[in-house]
Amino acid sequence: MENGLFSVLSEICEEKGISTDVMIDALEAALVAAYKKNFDSAQNVEVILDRESGVVKVYAKKKVVDLVFEEAEEIDIEDAKAINANYQLGDIVNIEVTPKDFGRISAMTAKQVVTQRIREAERGIIYSEYTEKTNDIVSGKIERIERGNVFIDIGKIEAMLPEKEQPAGETYEVGDMIKCYVSDVRSGTRGTQIIVSRTHPGLVKKLFEAEVPEIKEGIVEIKNIAREAGSRTKIAVYSTDENVDAQGACIGPKGIRVQNIGDELRNEKIDIVKWSEDPAEFIAASLSPAKVTSTVINEEEKSASVTVPEYQLSLAIGKSGQNVRLAARLTGWKIDISAEG
């Protein structure tokens, strides 16, 4: 029995990466259930598994009383003193009741219960681990695609990229490597569920943080991001060091940094905008790549009237109004654009 139990214990510990103490606690609880099921359900028992020898013993726990009413839970003071003269009223006496065939009858039940307990413990560990990854990036390989949802192997668990979290126009193939933003971690009856996104602005933010050392070091700050996933993103950046160009740092030597991010986002256009405390200056920059001639600010209505050269009017507005729409979201200002003249 002892060898069999420790064999199972060792196997599950190694497979699941869970501590031996957690396993033994689960095993002792399982053996209590096995004893009550197969021998005496009325007994208040405790199972103790010796950590060194592996010997399993079952003890009935009985309270010392003057007069016994519940034999399964109580023991007469005289009987208790016969075991140990030091026992007093109210003490708990542990009486060994280990059946001779306890191991044979309960081993299978114990294994089943322990496996279930460990499965639950594993779920808890996974949930805790991936909860810490919320609002971060995970990488993995696409395992399957079902009903428009993409399932990605990210290590210990599978993440789901719902159809609504996929940028318009992006296509996926089984076996593709992909990076996603962890938007939600849920715990349910079926275990931990990781929900990831390719549309969340946080994906762009985390990609820049990973690609640009100056952001990681705190020299360059990302002030805001406005995104229409799969099409275009505007990101406002600011340098805390006057000797460091925030836009240049994000673009990288020969444009390599922003190119790497663009490649990961399947060629999504990225406008890197210089943030400014001056609303007029920030709004003008946000309309990049268009060049602004003048900006008139209405603080009370938080709106701006912007003038651009006539030949750049369509560029400033953008296809279907996308450029000005993203600029408004990036700055938090309502923007009206007109041509010079």
Q: What is the mean pLDDT of residues 82-87?
A: 94
What pLDDT shows up at residue 5?
62
Please say if the pLDDT value at position 56 is more than 90. Answer: no
Q: Is residue 130 part of a domain?
A: no
Q: Is 131 inside any structural domain?
A: no
Q: Is residue 127 part of a domain?
A: no
Q: Is residue 95 part of a domain?
A: yes
Residue numbers of the domain that contains 219: 200-275
Clarify whether residues 167 and 241 are in a common domain: no
Q: What is the pLDDT of residues 150-161, one digit of tens each?
A: 999 999 899 999
Alpha carbon distance 81, 40 (integer Å) = 25
Whether residue 183 sits in one domain with residue 76 = no
Is 284 domain-assigned?
yes
Q: Could you tell me the pLDDT band of residue 1, with boundaries at 50, 70 and 90?
A: very low
pLDDT value for 17: 73
Domain final position from 275, 300, 323: 275
Residue 277, pLDDT > 80, answer yes
CATH number assigned to the domain comprising residue 11: 3.30.1480.10
Owner of token pair 């390989």:
141
Could you count the other beta carbons within 10 Å of the beta carbon of residue 306?
Answer: 24
Of residues 255, 234, 237, 258, the one with CA closest to residue 247: 237
Burial class (CB in 10 A: 0-12, 13-18, 19+), 80: buried
What tens digit of pLDDT does each residue of 90-102 get?
A: 999 999 999 888 8
Q: How does pLDDT run across 288-328, given as a tens digit for each residue?
A: 999 999 999 999 999 999 999 999 999 999 999 999 999 99
Percent of the chain scored above 70 by pLDDT?
A: 96
Are both 151 and 161 inside the same structural domain? Answer: yes
Angle between helices 256-264 and 201-211 (to 10 degrees): 140
Q: What is the CATH number of the domain that holds 186?
A: 2.40.50.140
Number of domain units in the chain: 4
- Residues 168, 106: Cα–Cα separation, whole Å: 57
The pTM of the full predicted model, rounded to 2 decimals, is: 0.72
